[in-house]
Amino acid sequence: MHDLKPGWPRWVLGALVATLLLPLLATFLYSISTRWGATLLPDGFTLDWYLKLWGDPRFLAAFGRSLLVCFATLLLGTLVLVPTVLVVAYYFPKLDPWMNLLILLPFAVPPVVSSVGLLQIYADGALPIIGTPWILIGTWFTVVLPFMYRALANSLQGVPLRDLMDAAHLLGASSGRAFLLVVIPCLRKGLLAALFLSLSFLLGEFVFANMLVGTRYETLQVYLYNMRSTSGHFTSALVMSYFLLTLLLTWAANRFHR
């Protein structure tokens, strides 16, 4: 049997990349076309659809709401998970396998099922938070748990935690001060990577946002869903803007993770 030529993996990889990029290229061309009917290429090109999108107050408001809820969720995740990871790694290392299981429990229940249960609990009563950003912050926090916890735990594995803590104790620092001034700065890159990846994921979250708040607190994905009946050029510009934002956040996360 003849050996395969050395260059065949490049052809396979090139064909795969072309297959994946072709729909994206078509969407981009459609978003900058004036009209595209039964011809191979558009009749003309324009940036009016992007100008219309970024000049739409409703889009800017939805984008701002999404960022606000995302930042609040990530702040909550940082305040909860950073101390948790440090305490588990330093004081209770045997609990790490159980923590890995615990953070995955929210994914055991589909978001649609979770939303139905949350609607029954928080629609009225003592804490009616359905339709408010508070319910989104709580549900999105469960979404980012695995991403943030694993990223922080993996970063902590490359840090000589006990050696750093022992050295800080010998110099007279308390455990809290040692965690704050010595250990946490070592986790900066891992934390930033986790935050950027979580942000790109949360910006695309739709089920909780649509079922729990809907148009009462319209986020980016709910706006995209509600604008599905408008011009295809406009929605293509919206999809491309969202894709470029996600690509930028993913690139930033990979850069900080190095």
- Check: CB of residue 50 under 8 Å from CB of residue 31: yes
Please tell me the distance from the alpha carbon of residue 126 to that of residue 215, in angstroms, as a whole number: 23
CATH of domain 47-257: 1.10.3720.10
How does pLDDT run across 166-221, given as a tens digit for each residue?
888 888 888 888 888 888 888 888 888 888 888 888 988 899 999 999 889 999 88
Amino acid, res. 20? L
What are the boundaries of each domain within the chain? 47-257
Contacting residues for 1 by C-beta, under 8 A, at least 6 apart? none
- Quote the pLDDT of residue 1: 47
- Quote the pLDDT of residue 96: 86
- Quote the pLDDT of residue 136: 93
How does pLDDT run across 30-58, given as a tens digit for each residue?
888 877 776 767 777 888 889 988 988 99
* pTM for the full predicted model: 0.82
